[in-house]
Amino acid sequence: MMEIHGEAWTLKEFFCYPNEYIYWSIQIVMYPFMTGLVAGAFVLSSLYHVFGVKQLKDIARFSLVFSFALLPVAMMPLMLHLQQPLRGIHVMMTPHFTSAIAAFGIVFSTYGMIVASELWFVYRPHFVATALELKDDTNRGLIGNFRYLLFSALTLGCYDVSEHALEKDEKAVSKLAGIGIPVACFLHGYAGFIFGSVKANALWMTPLMPVIFICSAVVSGISLCIITYIVTMEIRKILSKMGNKAKDLPSYEELQSAEIEEVQLTSKYLVGFLLAAITLELLDLIFRGYTAVKSWDILREVIYQRDFYKIFVMQYGLGNLLPFILFKLPGLTVRRAALASSLMLFGVFMMRWNVVIGGQAFSASYAGFMDYVIPIIPTSLDTFKEGLMGALSVIITPYVLFYFINKVMPVFKYKGSH
Protein backbone atom coordinates (compact mmCIF):
# COMPACT_ATOMS: atom_id res chain seq x y z
CA MET A 1 0.00 0.00 0.00
CA MET A 2 1.25 3.40 -0.93
CA GLU A 3 2.10 5.84 1.82
CA ILE A 4 -0.12 8.88 1.88
CA HIS A 5 1.29 11.90 3.61
CA GLY A 6 -0.59 12.36 6.86
CA GLU A 7 -2.40 9.02 6.91
CA ALA A 8 0.08 7.43 9.33
CA TRP A 9 -0.73 9.82 12.16
CA THR A 10 -4.30 10.97 11.48
CA LEU A 11 -7.35 9.48 13.15
CA LYS A 12 -10.61 10.55 11.59
CA GLU A 13 -14.00 10.54 13.21
CA PHE A 14 -17.43 11.30 11.74
CA PHE A 15 -17.65 13.16 8.47
CA CYS A 16 -14.33 14.46 7.14
CA TYR A 17 -13.59 15.09 3.48
CA PRO A 18 -11.66 12.17 1.96
CA ASN A 19 -8.47 14.16 1.39
CA GLU A 20 -8.29 15.69 4.84
CA TYR A 21 -5.42 14.66 7.08
CA ILE A 22 -3.26 16.41 9.65
CA TYR A 23 -0.94 17.85 7.02
CA TRP A 24 0.77 20.28 9.38
CA SER A 25 2.10 18.24 12.23
CA ILE A 26 4.77 18.46 14.93
CA GLN A 27 7.31 20.33 12.77
CA ILE A 28 4.84 23.14 12.21
CA VAL A 29 4.35 23.21 15.98
CA MET A 30 8.11 23.47 16.33
CA TYR A 31 8.42 26.23 13.74
CA PRO A 32 6.59 29.03 15.60
CA PHE A 33 7.97 27.68 18.85
CA MET A 34 11.57 27.96 17.67
CA THR A 35 11.11 31.34 15.92
CA GLY A 36 9.44 32.47 19.11
CA LEU A 37 12.50 31.50 21.10
CA VAL A 38 14.75 33.38 18.66
CA ALA A 39 12.66 36.52 18.81
CA GLY A 40 12.23 36.34 22.57
CA ALA A 41 15.90 35.81 23.26
CA PHE A 42 16.75 38.76 21.07
CA VAL A 43 14.22 41.04 22.71
CA LEU A 44 15.71 40.13 26.09
CA SER A 45 19.20 41.03 24.96
CA SER A 46 17.91 44.29 23.56
CA LEU A 47 16.52 45.31 26.94
CA TYR A 48 20.12 45.86 27.97
CA HIS A 49 21.53 47.21 24.71
CA VAL A 50 18.72 49.60 23.86
CA PHE A 51 16.94 50.42 27.07
CA GLY A 52 20.07 50.26 29.18
CA VAL A 53 18.76 47.88 31.82
CA LYS A 54 22.24 47.55 33.31
CA GLN A 55 21.50 44.58 35.54
CA LEU A 56 20.80 42.47 32.49
CA LYS A 57 24.28 42.84 31.06
CA ASP A 58 25.35 39.27 31.70
CA ILE A 59 22.21 37.59 30.46
CA ALA A 60 22.02 39.99 27.51
CA ARG A 61 25.30 38.81 26.05
CA PHE A 62 24.26 35.25 26.64
CA SER A 63 20.82 35.60 25.08
CA LEU A 64 22.26 37.34 22.03
CA VAL A 65 24.62 34.45 21.33
CA PHE A 66 21.89 31.95 22.08
CA SER A 67 19.51 33.73 19.75
CA PHE A 68 22.15 33.34 17.05
CA ALA A 69 22.43 29.62 17.78
CA LEU A 70 18.66 29.29 17.57
CA LEU A 71 18.46 31.13 14.28
CA PRO A 72 19.25 28.26 11.88
CA VAL A 73 17.01 26.05 13.95
CA ALA A 74 13.99 28.23 13.24
CA MET A 75 14.33 27.18 9.61
CA MET A 76 15.02 23.53 10.33
CA PRO A 77 11.43 22.47 11.07
CA LEU A 78 10.29 24.06 7.84
CA MET A 79 12.85 22.11 5.86
CA LEU A 80 11.95 18.91 7.68
CA HIS A 81 8.30 19.52 6.92
CA LEU A 82 8.61 20.19 3.18
CA GLN A 83 7.70 17.32 0.89
CA GLN A 84 10.39 18.59 -1.48
CA PRO A 85 13.08 19.96 0.85
CA LEU A 86 15.61 20.35 -1.96
CA ARG A 87 13.29 22.86 -3.57
CA GLY A 88 13.06 24.97 -0.43
CA ILE A 89 15.34 27.54 -2.04
CA HIS A 90 12.57 28.29 -4.58
CA VAL A 91 11.01 30.46 -1.90
CA MET A 92 14.01 32.77 -2.20
CA MET A 93 14.40 32.41 -5.97
CA THR A 94 10.82 32.78 -7.18
CA PRO A 95 8.90 34.29 -4.28
CA HIS A 96 5.21 34.66 -4.97
CA PHE A 97 4.45 37.66 -2.84
CA THR A 98 0.73 37.20 -2.38
CA SER A 99 1.68 34.28 -0.14
CA ALA A 100 2.40 34.97 3.49
CA ILE A 101 5.26 32.46 3.39
CA ALA A 102 7.01 34.02 0.39
CA ALA A 103 8.71 36.79 2.35
CA PHE A 104 10.03 34.37 4.93
CA GLY A 105 13.46 34.11 3.33
CA ILE A 106 13.80 37.89 3.19
CA VAL A 107 12.58 38.60 6.70
CA PHE A 108 14.59 35.74 8.09
CA SER A 109 17.87 36.67 6.42
CA THR A 110 17.44 40.35 7.31
CA TYR A 111 17.05 39.36 10.90
CA GLY A 112 19.98 36.95 10.69
CA MET A 113 22.21 39.69 9.34
CA ILE A 114 21.22 42.07 12.11
CA VAL A 115 22.01 39.51 14.81
CA ALA A 116 25.28 38.56 13.12
CA SER A 117 26.47 42.15 12.80
CA GLU A 118 25.45 42.96 16.35
CA LEU A 119 27.43 39.98 17.55
CA TRP A 120 30.38 41.07 15.48
CA PHE A 121 30.49 44.47 17.15
CA VAL A 122 30.07 42.93 20.59
CA TYR A 123 32.86 40.39 20.05
CA ARG A 124 35.21 42.43 17.90
CA PRO A 125 37.66 43.15 20.73
CA HIS A 126 37.75 39.44 21.50
CA PHE A 127 38.41 38.51 17.88
CA VAL A 128 41.21 41.06 17.65
CA ALA A 129 42.80 39.99 20.92
CA THR A 130 42.65 36.30 20.02
CA ALA A 131 43.94 36.86 16.51
CA LEU A 132 46.87 38.92 17.77
CA GLU A 133 47.66 36.44 20.49
CA LEU A 134 47.71 33.56 18.00
CA LYS A 135 49.76 35.61 15.57
CA ASP A 136 52.56 35.92 18.11
CA ASP A 137 52.38 32.24 18.94
CA THR A 138 55.03 30.69 16.70
CA ASN A 139 54.18 27.16 17.81
CA ARG A 140 50.52 27.06 16.83
CA GLY A 141 50.03 23.56 15.47
CA LEU A 142 47.21 22.51 13.17
CA ILE A 143 44.32 23.55 15.38
CA GLY A 144 46.06 26.76 16.32
CA ASN A 145 46.57 27.53 12.67
CA PHE A 146 42.92 26.98 11.97
CA ARG A 147 41.93 29.17 14.90
CA TYR A 148 44.33 31.86 13.76
CA LEU A 149 42.81 31.82 10.26
CA LEU A 150 39.28 31.85 11.66
CA PHE A 151 39.84 34.70 14.09
CA SER A 152 41.80 36.86 11.71
CA ALA A 153 39.03 36.35 9.16
CA LEU A 154 36.47 37.30 11.80
CA THR A 155 38.24 40.61 12.49
CA LEU A 156 37.47 41.50 8.86
CA GLY A 157 40.84 43.21 8.76
CA CYS A 158 39.93 45.75 11.39
CA TYR A 159 42.34 45.65 14.31
CA ASP A 160 41.54 49.05 15.79
CA VAL A 161 40.52 48.54 19.40
CA SER A 162 41.24 52.03 20.66
CA GLU A 163 38.85 53.57 23.14
CA HIS A 164 37.38 55.74 20.41
CA ALA A 165 36.75 52.74 18.17
CA LEU A 166 35.15 50.74 20.95
CA GLU A 167 32.87 53.63 21.74
CA LYS A 168 31.74 53.61 18.14
CA ASP A 169 31.19 49.87 18.36
CA GLU A 170 28.94 50.32 21.32
CA LYS A 171 26.86 52.89 19.45
CA ALA A 172 26.55 50.50 16.53
CA VAL A 173 25.43 47.72 18.85
CA SER A 174 22.67 49.76 20.40
CA LYS A 175 21.51 50.94 16.97
CA LEU A 176 21.44 47.39 15.63
CA ALA A 177 19.62 46.17 18.71
CA GLY A 178 17.15 49.00 18.22
CA ILE A 179 16.45 47.98 14.63
CA GLY A 180 16.48 44.35 15.69
CA ILE A 181 13.50 44.65 18.05
CA PRO A 182 10.93 45.54 15.40
CA VAL A 183 12.49 43.06 12.99
CA ALA A 184 12.40 40.28 15.59
CA CYS A 185 8.79 41.11 16.36
CA PHE A 186 8.05 41.21 12.66
CA LEU A 187 9.72 37.85 12.13
CA HIS A 188 7.47 36.30 14.67
CA GLY A 189 4.33 38.32 14.15
CA TYR A 190 4.76 37.22 10.59
CA ALA A 191 4.67 33.58 11.67
CA GLY A 192 1.39 34.45 13.36
CA PHE A 193 0.15 36.04 10.15
CA ILE A 194 0.86 32.82 8.24
CA PHE A 195 -1.73 31.13 10.43
CA GLY A 196 -4.06 34.06 11.07
CA SER A 197 -4.62 34.68 7.37
CA VAL A 198 -5.79 31.18 6.48
CA LYS A 199 -9.43 31.98 5.89
CA ALA A 200 -10.30 28.32 5.39
CA ASN A 201 -9.41 27.56 9.00
CA ALA A 202 -11.94 28.77 11.52
CA LEU A 203 -9.63 28.47 14.52
CA TRP A 204 -6.66 30.24 12.97
CA MET A 205 -8.38 33.12 11.27
CA THR A 206 -8.13 36.08 13.61
CA PRO A 207 -6.25 39.36 13.27
CA LEU A 208 -5.09 38.91 16.86
CA MET A 209 -2.96 35.94 15.88
CA PRO A 210 0.26 37.86 15.05
CA VAL A 211 0.10 39.85 18.29
CA ILE A 212 -0.65 36.77 20.38
CA PHE A 213 2.28 35.06 18.73
CA ILE A 214 4.67 37.92 19.51
CA CYS A 215 3.72 38.09 23.18
CA SER A 216 3.99 34.35 23.71
CA ALA A 217 7.23 34.37 21.73
CA VAL A 218 8.80 36.80 24.15
CA VAL A 219 7.52 34.71 27.07
CA SER A 220 9.11 31.55 25.67
CA GLY A 221 12.34 33.27 24.66
CA ILE A 222 12.86 34.79 28.10
CA SER A 223 11.97 31.50 29.79
CA LEU A 224 14.50 29.58 27.77
CA CYS A 225 17.17 32.19 28.46
CA ILE A 226 16.50 32.01 32.19
CA ILE A 227 16.71 28.22 32.20
CA THR A 228 19.83 27.99 30.09
CA TYR A 229 21.41 30.84 32.03
CA ILE A 230 20.72 29.12 35.35
CA VAL A 231 22.10 25.82 34.07
CA THR A 232 25.33 27.36 32.81
CA MET A 233 25.72 29.40 36.00
CA GLU A 234 25.28 26.27 38.11
CA ILE A 235 27.98 24.54 36.09
CA ARG A 236 30.27 27.52 36.59
CA LYS A 237 29.52 27.49 40.30
CA ILE A 238 30.45 23.83 40.51
CA LEU A 239 33.65 24.51 38.60
CA SER A 240 34.60 27.40 40.85
CA LYS A 241 33.84 25.29 43.94
CA MET A 242 36.03 22.50 42.63
CA GLY A 243 38.86 24.99 42.93
CA ASN A 244 39.32 25.85 39.33
CA LYS A 245 41.05 29.05 40.36
CA ALA A 246 42.04 30.60 37.09
CA LYS A 247 42.59 34.23 38.00
CA ASP A 248 40.14 35.78 35.53
CA LEU A 249 37.20 33.71 36.73
CA PRO A 250 34.76 35.13 39.31
CA SER A 251 34.38 33.49 42.71
CA TYR A 252 31.51 31.28 43.87
CA GLU A 253 29.87 34.03 45.93
CA GLU A 254 30.07 36.54 43.13
CA LEU A 255 28.37 34.10 40.80
CA GLN A 256 25.70 33.31 43.37
CA SER A 257 24.61 36.90 43.92
CA ALA A 258 24.80 37.81 40.26
CA GLU A 259 22.67 34.85 39.30
CA ILE A 260 19.72 35.51 41.59
CA GLU A 261 19.74 39.21 40.78
CA GLU A 262 19.55 38.58 37.04
CA VAL A 263 16.91 35.92 37.38
CA GLN A 264 14.65 38.05 39.58
CA LEU A 265 14.75 41.01 37.27
CA THR A 266 14.27 38.96 34.11
CA SER A 267 11.28 37.15 35.55
CA LYS A 268 9.52 40.52 36.00
CA TYR A 269 9.62 41.08 32.25
CA LEU A 270 8.53 37.51 31.71
CA VAL A 271 5.40 37.90 33.80
CA GLY A 272 4.53 41.17 32.06
CA PHE A 273 4.59 39.60 28.63
CA LEU A 274 2.70 36.57 29.93
CA LEU A 275 -0.16 38.78 31.09
CA ALA A 276 -0.32 40.47 27.70
CA ALA A 277 -0.40 37.12 25.91
CA ILE A 278 -3.12 35.66 28.14
CA THR A 279 -5.27 38.77 27.87
CA LEU A 280 -5.27 38.57 24.09
CA GLU A 281 -5.89 34.83 23.99
CA LEU A 282 -8.85 35.13 26.34
CA LEU A 283 -10.20 38.08 24.37
CA ASP A 284 -10.10 35.93 21.27
CA LEU A 285 -11.91 33.08 22.99
CA ILE A 286 -14.60 35.29 24.50
CA PHE A 287 -15.15 37.04 21.20
CA ARG A 288 -15.62 33.76 19.35
CA GLY A 289 -18.11 32.53 21.91
CA TYR A 290 -20.04 35.79 21.95
CA THR A 291 -20.29 36.27 18.19
CA ALA A 292 -20.93 32.52 17.72
CA VAL A 293 -20.64 32.42 13.95
CA LYS A 294 -21.18 29.25 11.93
CA SER A 295 -17.91 27.64 13.00
CA TRP A 296 -18.53 28.11 16.72
CA ASP A 297 -20.48 24.86 17.14
CA ILE A 298 -17.52 22.76 16.11
CA LEU A 299 -14.93 25.05 17.72
CA ARG A 300 -16.77 24.86 21.02
CA GLU A 301 -16.72 21.09 20.79
CA VAL A 302 -12.97 21.13 20.12
CA ILE A 303 -12.04 23.76 22.70
CA TYR A 304 -14.29 22.79 25.60
CA GLN A 305 -14.59 19.05 25.03
CA ARG A 306 -12.01 17.31 22.92
CA ASP A 307 -9.01 19.54 23.62
CA PHE A 308 -10.13 20.70 27.05
CA TYR A 309 -7.32 18.90 28.84
CA LYS A 310 -4.67 20.17 26.43
CA ILE A 311 -5.92 23.76 26.48
CA PHE A 312 -7.20 24.45 29.97
CA VAL A 313 -5.20 22.00 32.06
CA MET A 314 -1.88 21.73 30.29
CA GLN A 315 -1.61 25.12 28.58
CA TYR A 316 -3.40 27.58 30.86
CA GLY A 317 -3.17 25.69 34.14
CA LEU A 318 0.16 23.97 34.18
CA GLY A 319 1.86 26.20 31.64
CA ASN A 320 0.60 29.66 32.63
CA LEU A 321 -1.19 29.90 35.96
CA LEU A 322 1.12 27.70 38.00
CA PRO A 323 4.38 29.38 36.89
CA PHE A 324 2.70 32.76 37.34
CA ILE A 325 2.01 31.92 40.97
CA LEU A 326 5.51 30.51 41.40
CA PHE A 327 7.05 33.72 40.11
CA LYS A 328 4.77 35.94 42.16
CA LEU A 329 5.20 34.20 45.53
CA PRO A 330 7.63 36.29 47.60
CA GLY A 331 11.26 35.31 47.95
CA LEU A 332 11.96 33.98 44.48
CA THR A 333 14.79 31.48 44.49
CA VAL A 334 16.87 30.31 41.56
CA ARG A 335 15.46 26.82 41.80
CA ARG A 336 11.87 28.05 41.81
CA ALA A 337 12.58 30.35 38.89
CA ALA A 338 14.03 27.45 36.94
CA LEU A 339 10.95 25.35 37.59
CA ALA A 340 8.58 28.19 36.75
CA SER A 341 10.45 29.01 33.54
CA SER A 342 10.38 25.39 32.44
CA LEU A 343 6.63 25.28 33.02
CA MET A 344 6.24 28.53 31.12
CA LEU A 345 8.18 27.10 28.21
CA PHE A 346 5.94 24.07 28.28
CA GLY A 347 2.90 26.33 28.34
CA VAL A 348 4.00 28.18 25.22
CA PHE A 349 4.75 24.89 23.50
CA MET A 350 1.26 23.68 24.34
CA MET A 351 -0.17 26.92 23.00
CA ARG A 352 1.59 26.31 19.68
CA TRP A 353 0.36 22.74 19.71
CA ASN A 354 -3.21 23.75 20.44
CA VAL A 355 -3.14 26.30 17.65
CA VAL A 356 -1.46 24.19 14.97
CA ILE A 357 -2.87 20.76 15.77
CA GLY A 358 -6.06 22.13 17.30
CA GLY A 359 -6.70 24.04 14.08
CA GLN A 360 -6.72 20.73 12.27
CA ALA A 361 -8.65 18.86 14.93
CA PHE A 362 -11.89 19.48 13.09
CA SER A 363 -12.83 18.94 9.49
CA ALA A 364 -13.58 21.79 7.11
CA SER A 365 -16.96 20.09 6.80
CA TYR A 366 -17.62 21.19 10.42
CA ALA A 367 -19.01 17.71 10.92
CA GLY A 368 -15.99 15.58 11.72
CA PHE A 369 -12.84 15.48 13.80
CA MET A 370 -9.24 14.56 13.28
CA ASP A 371 -6.69 13.56 15.86
CA TYR A 372 -2.92 13.69 15.54
CA VAL A 373 -1.25 10.59 16.95
CA ILE A 374 2.38 11.60 17.15
CA PRO A 375 4.63 8.87 15.70
CA ILE A 376 7.10 7.90 18.42
CA ILE A 377 9.14 5.18 16.74
CA PRO A 378 9.76 6.08 13.13
CA THR A 379 8.94 3.49 10.49
CA SER A 380 9.66 5.71 7.50
CA LEU A 381 11.26 9.04 6.65
CA ASP A 382 7.86 10.72 6.99
CA THR A 383 7.19 9.34 10.45
CA PHE A 384 10.71 10.28 11.52
CA LYS A 385 10.46 13.86 10.29
CA GLU A 386 6.92 14.48 11.50
CA GLY A 387 7.19 12.53 14.71
CA LEU A 388 8.83 12.71 18.10
CA MET A 389 12.32 12.03 16.74
CA GLY A 390 12.12 14.90 14.28
CA ALA A 391 10.97 17.22 17.03
CA LEU A 392 13.78 16.10 19.33
CA SER A 393 16.41 16.72 16.67
CA VAL A 394 15.08 20.25 16.34
CA ILE A 395 15.25 20.78 20.10
CA ILE A 396 18.79 19.44 20.45
CA THR A 397 20.33 21.32 17.52
CA PRO A 398 20.53 24.80 19.11
CA TYR A 399 22.49 23.41 22.04
CA VAL A 400 24.96 21.70 19.72
CA LEU A 401 25.32 24.92 17.77
CA PHE A 402 25.63 26.93 20.97
CA TYR A 403 28.51 24.72 22.06
CA PHE A 404 30.46 25.53 18.90
CA ILE A 405 29.52 29.20 18.73
CA ASN A 406 30.55 29.56 22.35
CA LYS A 407 34.03 28.41 21.35
CA VAL A 408 34.32 31.37 19.02
CA MET A 409 32.25 33.88 20.96
CA PRO A 410 32.67 32.93 24.61
CA VAL A 411 29.71 34.04 26.66
CA PHE A 412 31.16 33.67 30.14
CA LYS A 413 34.85 34.29 29.73
CA TYR A 414 35.35 37.60 31.43
CA LYS A 415 34.94 38.67 34.95
CA GLY A 416 34.05 42.00 33.43
CA SER A 417 30.87 40.50 32.13
CA HIS A 418 29.16 41.25 35.42
Partner 1 sequence: MERRDFLKQTITIIAGAAIPASALEFINPKSLFAANGGNTRWVFLADTQKCVGCGFCVKACKLENEVPYDADITRTWVERYVICKDGKMRVEGNMSNPGFGINADSPKGGRDGFTTAKIEVGADKHVEIKDEDISKAFFVPKLCNQCDNPPCVQVCPVGATYKTGDGVVLVDRSWCIGCGYCVMGCPYGVRFFHPVYKVAEKCNFCYHRISKGMKTACVQSCPFGARQIGNLKDPNDPVTKVIMTGRVGVLKSEYGTKPQVYYLALDREVR
| Least distance between partner 1 and beta carbon 309 (Å) | 13
Instruction: Find the shortest distance in angstroms from Cβ 367 to partner 1.
Output: 5
Of the candidates 8, 97, 45, 68, the one whose C-alpha atom is nearest the C-alpha of residue 266 is 45
- What DSSP designation does 376 have? S
**157 three-class SS:** coil
| Distance (Å, whole) CA 209 – CA 310 | 19
The least distance separating partner 1 from the CB of residue 108, rounded to whole angstroms, comes to 13
| CB-based burial, 159-196: b 16+ in 10 Å, e otherwise | eebeeeeeeebeebbbebbebbbebbbbbbbbbbbbbb
Angle, helices 209-241 vs 334-356, to 10°: value is 150
**CB 138, min distance to partner 1, A:** 52
Query: Using the rule CB under 8 A, is 101 a contact of partner 1?
Result: yes
Closer to partner 1 by CB, 164 or 294: give it: 294
Contact pattern for partner 1 over residues 68 through 97, marking x by CB under 8 A: ----------x--xxxx--xx-xx--xxx-
CB nearer to partner 1: pick between 19 and 162? 19
Contact between 286 and 303 (Cβ < 8 Å): no
Tell how far CA 165 is from the center of its chain. Answer: 33
CA-to-CA separations, 238 to 59, 229, 282, 317, 411, in angstroms, rounded: 19, 14, 43, 34, 17
Instruction: Note whether 363 binds partner 1 by CB under 8 A.
Output: yes
Find the shortest distance in angstroms from Cβ 76 to partner 1: 14
List the one residue from 4, 153, 286, 373 that touches partner 1 (CB under 8 A): 4
**198 counts as binding partner 1 under rule CB under 8 A:** yes
Q: Select the residue interacting with partner 1 from 156, 231, 367, 392 (CB under 8 A).
A: 367
CA distance 410 to 128: 14
Residue 12 sits at φ, ψ, to 5 deg, of -105, 145
Enumerate residues 273-312 that contact partner 1 by CB under 8 A: 294, 297-298, 300-301, 305
DSSP state at residue 85: G
The count of residues interacting with partner 1 (CB under 8 A) is 55
Of 247 and 294, which CB lies nearer to partner 1 in the complex structure?
294
As measured in angstroms, the least distance from the Cβ of 88 to partner 1 is 6
Task: Report d(CA 283, CA 266) in Å as an integer.
Answer: 26
* Shortest Cβ 201–partner 1 spacing (Å): 6
User: Which residues contact partner 1 by CB under 8 A?
Assistant: 1-7, 11-21, 23-24, 78, 81-84, 87-88, 90-91, 94-96, 98-102, 104, 194, 198-201, 294, 297-298, 300-301, 305, 363-368
